[in-house]
């Protein structure tokens, strides 16, 4: 029935239950559009993510000792206002020039030596994350404007069947934040406030709230569909 030479996914893509609506498919004798494979469904990292996803240098987007490095810190809370001790956050960002170390940055990504733009930090120590990094520069928005300095953040945890995505902006970039198209797309200042990190002793802090917790006055962080 199944040929070992054809990926089962490609075979399965011909089955009715794998169609992505609106995309034509094989079967009529003519291939009248792209054959699109449906993506693999996401799942929770479960409570034991530290087994597989811990690196000694995980929290270091910028190597230790990098000049001008800061710590991004914060806590992750659930809908009862309790700390989430088994979450992990990952961050991805531009360097201080607003460039990404990636071939799809058409300006030719350049980064500071020792800076990789990516970090992951689990929250096993009482629900806190900490990422050692450089403050990113403004990033072109592709429409002639600039996005305010920001960090893309993924949150993973037991009880999250997919990652949730948010951003970190910086409180001392008021002017850039006011002109930022993503922040401008949010409905109100309270929403925007959930994304803006405040200055701290060694960098910035921003807590992440997975859910509203009204009796403690905690507002749900704005999460994005990417």
Partner 1 sequence: MTGTTSRAPRPAADSALVLPRYLRDPEEQRTPLAYPGYKSTGLRAPLRTPVDLPHRLTEVTGPVLGEDRVLPTDADLTLRMGGEAQGQRIIVFGRVLDSDGRPVPDALVEVWQANAGGRYRHVVDNWPAPLDPHFDGLGRVITDSLGRYEFTTIKPGAYPWGNHHNAWRPAHIHFSLFGQAFTQRLVTQMYFPGDPLFEQDPIYNAIPPSARYRAISRFDLDRTQDNWALAYQWDIVLRGKDQTPFETDDDGDVA
Contact positions with partner 1 (CB under 8 A) in 100-159: 100-102, 104-110, 113, 116-118, 139-145, 147, 150, 152, 154, 156-159
Query: Which one among 38, 174, 178, 184 touches partner 1, defined by CB under 8 A?
Result: 38
Q: Where are the beta strands (DSSP E) in 27-185?
A: 70-77, 87-93, 118-122, 128-133, 139-140, 146-147, 151-157, 164-170
Q: Smallest distance from the beta carbon of 214 to partner 1, in angstroms?
A: 11
Residue number with CB closer to partner 1 (105 or 172): 105
State how far the alpha carbon of 111 is from the alpha carbons of 12, 100, 146, in Å. 42, 7, 19
Q: Is 193 near partner 1 (CB under 8 A)?
A: no
Residue number with CB closer to partner 1 (140 or 200): 140
Q: Smallest distance from the beta carbon of 201 to partner 1, in angstroms?
A: 27
Task: Name the segment binding partner 1 (CB under 8 A); options: 25-33, 168-176, 177-185, 198-206.
Answer: 177-185
Residue number with CB closer to partner 1 (98 or 130): 98
Q: Which long-range contacts (CB under 8 A, 24 or more apart) does 223-226 make?
A: 223/164, 223/165, 223/166, 224/165, 224/166, 224/167, 225/165, 226/165
Q: Could you tell me which residues are beta bridge partners of residue 62? A: 115
Task: Name the segment binding partner 1 (CB under 8 A); options: 24-32, 63-71, 94-102, 197-205.
Answer: 94-102
CB 92 within 8 A of CB 225: no
Count of other CB atoms within 10 angstroms of residue 149: 22
Q: Smallest distance from the beta carbon of 116 to partner 1, in angstroms?
A: 7
């Amino acid at each position: 029935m199944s040929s070992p030479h054809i990926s089962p996914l490609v075979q399965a893509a011909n089955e009715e239950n794998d169609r992505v609506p609106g995309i034509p498919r094989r079967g009529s004798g003519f291939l009248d559009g792209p054959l699109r494979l449906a993506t693999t469904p996401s799942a929770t990292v479960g409570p034991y993510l530290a087994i597989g996803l811990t690196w000694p240098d995980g929290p270091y987007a910028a190597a230790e000792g990098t000049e001008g490095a800061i710590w991004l810190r914060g806590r992750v809370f659930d809908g009862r206002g309790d700390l989430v001790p088994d979450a992990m956050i990952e961050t991805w960002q531009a360097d201080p020039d607003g460039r990404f170390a990636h071939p799809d940055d058409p300006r030719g990504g350049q980064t500071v030596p020792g800076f990789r733009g990516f970090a992951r930090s689990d929250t096993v120590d009482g629900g806190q994350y900490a990422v050692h990094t450089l403050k990113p520069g403004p990033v072109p928005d592709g429409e002639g404007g600039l996005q305010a300095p920001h960090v893309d953040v993924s949150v993973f945890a037991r009880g999250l069947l997919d990652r949730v995505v948010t951003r970190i902006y910086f409180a001392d970039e008021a002017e850039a934040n006011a002109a930022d198209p993503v922040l401008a797309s949010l409905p109100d200042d309270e929403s925007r406030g959930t994304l803006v990190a405040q200055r701290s002793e060694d960098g910035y802090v921003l807590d992440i709230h997975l859910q509203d917790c009204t009796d403690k006055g905690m507002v749900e962080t704005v999460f994005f569909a990417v």
